[in-house]
Chains A and B, each alone.
Chain A
Amino acid sequence: MNFLAVKFRSVSDRIARAAGLDVRLLGMLFMMAVIWLTLDVLTGGLFITPRNIFNLSLQVSVVGIMTCGMVLVIVSRHIDLSVGSQIGFIGVFGALMQNAWLPIDGTSTWWITSLAMLGVGIFIGFAQGLLVAYAGIPSFVVTLGGLLFLRNAAFYINSGVTVAPLNETFQLLGGGLDGTIGVFWSWVVCGLAIAGVALIVWRSRRRRSVHSMAQKPLASDVLMVAIWAIVIAVFTATMNGYKQPKTDIGMGIPIPVLILIGVTIVMSAVARKHRFGRHVFAMGGSSESAELAGIDTRRLTLLVFMMMGLLCGLGSIVTTARLNAGASVTGTMTELTVIAAAVIGGTSLAGGIGTVYGGIVGALIMQSLESGMILMGVPTPLQRMVLALVLIIAVWVDTVYRKARRA
């Protein structure tokens, strides 16, 4: 049994590697396909519809944006438990800004508040990062304190009263009826994205030939671009296929989803292609070795928490805009969803291992299960119980996989 599993894995590994594909990612995508098909059957065909996929991608954006940061936090062998409370605090802050300090209908109000919210996020990350990196307090403790502090600060700054409504331009950042870019621009984005993928692959081939290094077979690169093109086009068609209520006008890609895609691309590049990401992985693998190699691990830790704060600010903008209100309870338990998404996506809590795209797939799996269960009418407590079990099983599967890999 075990022998067969090993045999199967080694064969599938070799095929995938020959095609230049990532085995882990394929495994996760396969799992997601199974989950989607199962949920579609269980909900009687309600799951895989433009309407549901549209809502799903809208719902996943906030968790996805923050998961991108959480992956790097966990890779650096830290944790940030305060992200949910950050969402709440920054949201109330931004809403107050629009209602108490700035003219709510002002034309600049939306971007001034947005920048301020990002700034508050960076500042929170800075404060927590200082305590972790320079005062040497474990991140678990610092951010557990942050969770409690910020949630109650969110309550305190407006005595627990929800602040609403918000600036209308700002609301677009949350998606919703008008918060999409429409059919035409969705196709434009689709075309640009496909061209972008082709360009990246072509440039990589050219760089390798300039350095006269071994190339992947041309067919495998072409296949890669083709697969991406199909995925992007199908996604766009789906978003355009969801019609505005009582009309025949397609919705198009929601703005939060565009933000998520942008964040994912940037953070993947930072993690894999940028010095900063390289150093984060080195530090997570062995902080001592990284220090001996000349990396300033304290400054790096500070930057990791500031980056997480920035993404919390962004997540808060999207949630607050979508709810059209700043409420002190917004984002409650989000830290668990975000950490679970990162871990389900293959980020190792022991540090040094993880991928941004894995975290995004993890977030999609969590969100799919949740919205599938909502469609099926599963009561909320039971939903949460199932998600908890999924998290534990995912980590267990991952542990087994890694052990087998090493043996």
Chain B
Amino acid sequence: MTALVELRNIVKTFGGVHAVENVSIDLAAGEVLGLLGHNGAGKSTLVKILSGVFPADSGDILIKGQSVTIRSTRDAKALGIETIYQTLALSENLDCVANLFLGREIAGWHGFMNDEAMEKKADATLNRLRLRLPLLSKLVSSLSGGQRQAVAIARAIQFNARVLIMDEPTAALGPEETQNVATLIAELSNQGIGIILISHDIHDIFGLASRLVVMKNGRLVGTVNTGDVTKDEVLAMIIAGKVPEARQA
């Protein structure tokens, strides 16, 4: 079976910093892949290459076995790759609906927007996702951290993604909302969406991801099946940078 997404031998440097060094990962449709590692391990940099934020210095990206070039976030979205950025990347001076549809507004005559249709669709999406927001006409600058995260999540998944990249999606959420997002991730993977989930919290990720990728100092430490390892062994991988014997997936 060909993987939904394959990143091969990705290299990315910033000045003298080797942010990502020769990393290869793959993701199947419907799979939840956990991406773990210390601060500065290169997790965000690796996925940003897939989201089109910046190009890799070298390496290939394959979608369903086909080599693709992703030059911008627009290219990535056109390929069905949606991203929830660690910084959320919301526009604080716009309201929730505007943020949800930013860059993909529902418009009619000569690009004039249909506000009512967008408001209604936004409302429906949030209900479906069981994400709670006070008022859709509120400016994002007046939302709490968790509410902002809800907006960012809803924005990424309302456009029928094939690949969903979540860079610490639950960092600011309360226990109940975190649980909702976990349920949501399970649902989305059931629908066949491939999900890359980045987190610091291995407890969070253990219950969701079927495979785990660990990075350290820009390098790939290893990939393991979640079922084959204990949390302590994964912690050891993150800290020591070594794969336990006979666990390599």
**Chains A and B bind each other:** yes
Q: Is A269 an interface residue (CB 8 A)?
A: yes
Q: In the complex, which residues of chain B have a beta carbon less than 8 angstroms from the beta carbon of A406? A: 141
Q: Is A108 an interface residue (CB 8 A)?
A: no
The answer to whether B116 and A282 touch across the interface, beta carbons within 8 angstroms, is no
Q: Is B107 an interface residue (CB 8 A)?
A: yes
Give complex CA distance A292, B73 in Å.
6
Q: In the complex, which residues of chain B have a beta carbon less than 8 angstroms from the beta carbon of A274? A: 107, 110-113
Q: In the complex, which residues of chain A have a beta carbon less than 8 angstroms from the beta carbon of B104? A: 294
Q: Which of A85-93, A205-213, A240-248 contacts B (4 or more CB under 8 A)?
A: A205-213
Q: Is A194 an interface residue (CB 8 A)?
A: no
Interface residues of B in 93-109 (CB under 8 A from A): 93-94, 98, 102-105, 107
Q: In the complex, which residues of chain A have a beta carbon less than 8 angstroms from the beta carbon of B110? A: 274
Q: Which of A163-171, A177-185, A283-291 contacts B (4 or more CB under 8 A)?
A: A283-291
When the two chains form the complex, which single residue of B53, B77, B92 contacts A286, counting CB atoms closer than 8 Å? B92
Interface residues of A, count at CB 8 A: 29
Give complex CA distance A207, B112 in Å.
14
The answer to whether B105 and A278 touch across the interface, beta carbons within 8 angstroms, is yes
Interface residues of A in 203-261 (CB under 8 A from B): 207-208, 210-211, 213
Q: Is A353 an interface residue (CB 8 A)?
A: yes
Interface residues of B in 79-103 (CB under 8 A from A): 83, 85, 89-94, 98, 102-103
Shortest Cβ distance from B48 into A: residue = A292
Q: In the complex, which residues of chain B have a beta carbon less than 8 angstroms from the beta carbon of A275? A: 105, 107, 111-113
The answer to whether B53 and A353 touch across the interface, beta carbons within 8 angstroms, is no
Give complex CA distance A286, B73 in Å.
16
Interface of B is mostly: mixed
Interface residues of A in 291-307 (CB under 8 A from B): 291-296
Q: A281-B93, A292-B73 are in contact. Are A273 and B105 (CB under 8 A)?
A: no
Q: Is A322 an interface residue (CB 8 A)?
A: no
Give complex CA distance A282, B111 in Å.
16
The answer to whether A293 and B120 touch across the interface, beta carbons within 8 angstroms, is no
Q: In the complex, which residues of chain A have a beta carbon less than 8 angstroms from the beta carbon of B90? A: 289
Q: Which of B107, B115, B117 has the most CB of A within 10 A?
A: B115
Q: Is A64 an interface residue (CB 8 A)?
A: no
Give complex CA distance A273, B89 in Å.
23
Q: In the complex, which residues of chain A have a beta carbon less than 8 angstroms from the beta carbon of B247? A: none
Q: A213-B116, A269-B112 are in contact. Are A289 and B74 (CB under 8 A)?
A: no
Give complex CA distance A293, B88 in Å.
10
Q: In the complex, which residues of chain B have a beta carbon less than 8 angstroms from the beta carbon of A396? A: none
The answer to whether B111 and A292 touch across the interface, beta carbons within 8 angstroms, is no
Give complex CA distance A278, B117 in Å.
16
Q: Is B119 an interface residue (CB 8 A)?
A: yes
Return A275 CB to nearest CB of chain B, in Å: 5
Interface residues of B, count at CB 8 A: 30
Q: Is A279 an interface residue (CB 8 A)?
A: yes
Give complex CA distance A289, B89 in Å.
5
Return B148 CB to nearest CB of chain A, in Å: 12
Return A323 CB to nearest CB of chain B, in Å: 35
Q: A282-B91, A289-B91 are in contact. Are A294 and B112 (CB under 8 A)?
A: no
The answer to whether B113 and A290 touch across the interface, beta carbons within 8 angstroms, is no
The answer to whether A278 and B113 touch across the interface, beta carbons within 8 angstroms, is yes
Give complex CA distance A276, B103 in Å.
10
Q: A211-B117, A278-B105, A290-B102 are in contact. Are A352 and B93 (CB under 8 A)?
A: yes
Give complex CA distance A194, B175 in Å.
54
Q: In the complex, which residues of chain B have a beta carbon less than 8 angstroms from the beta carbon of A291? A: 73
The answer to whether B116 and A207 touch across the interface, beta carbons within 8 angstroms, is yes
Q: In the complex, which residues of chain A have a beta carbon less than 8 angstroms from the beta carbon of B91? A: 281-282, 285-286, 289-290, 293, 352
The answer to whether B93 and A294 touch across the interface, beta carbons within 8 angstroms, is no
Q: A208-B116, A275-B113, A293-B102 are in contact. Are A281 and B73 (CB under 8 A)?
A: no
The answer to whether A296 and B93 touch across the interface, beta carbons within 8 angstroms, is no
Give complex CA distance A291, B83 in Å.
13
Give complex CA distance A285, B92 in Å.
7
The answer to whether A295 and B102 touch across the interface, beta carbons within 8 angstroms, is yes
Return A391 CB to nearest CB of chain B, in Å: 23
Q: In the complex, which residues of chain B have a beta carbon less than 8 angstroms from the beta carbon of A281? A: 91, 93-94
The answer to whether A285 and B116 touch across the interface, beta carbons within 8 angstroms, is no
Q: In the complex, which residues of chain B have a beta carbon less than 8 angstroms from the beta carbon of A278? A: 94, 98, 102, 105, 113
Give complex CA distance A294, B72 in Å.
8
Return A327 CB to nearest CB of chain B, in Å: 38
Shortest Cβ distance from B88 into A: residue = A289
The answer to whether B103 and A279 touch across the interface, beta carbons within 8 angstroms, is yes
Give complex CA distance A28, B129 in Å.
42
Q: Which of A210, A275, A276, A406 has the most CB of B within 10 A?
A: A275
Shortest Cβ distance from B77 into A: residue = A294
Give complex CA distance A294, B76 in Å.
9
The answer to whether B89 and A288 touch across the interface, beta carbons within 8 angstroms, is yes
When the two chains form the complex, which single residue of A213, A276, A295 contacts B111, counting CB atoms closer than 8 Å? A276
The answer to whether B74 and A296 touch across the interface, beta carbons within 8 angstroms, is yes
Q: In the complex, which residues of chain A have a beta carbon less than 8 angstroms from the beta carbon of B85? A: 292
Q: In the complex, which residues of chain B have a beta carbon less than 8 angstroms from the beta carbon of A213? A: 116, 119-120
9 more A-B residue pairs beyond the given contacts A211-B117, A406-B141, with a C-beta to C-beta distance below 8 A: A213-B120, A275-B113, A278-B102, A278-B105, A282-B93, A292-B51, A292-B53, A294-B103, A352-B92
26 CB < 8 A contacts A-B: A208-B116, A211-B116, A211-B117, A211-B119, A269-B112, A273-B112, A274-B111, A275-B105, A275-B107, A278-B94, A278-B98, A282-B93, A282-B94, A282-B98, A285-B91, A286-B91, A290-B102, A290-B103, A292-B73, A292-B89, A293-B91, A293-B103, A294-B77, A294-B104, A295-B102, A296-B72
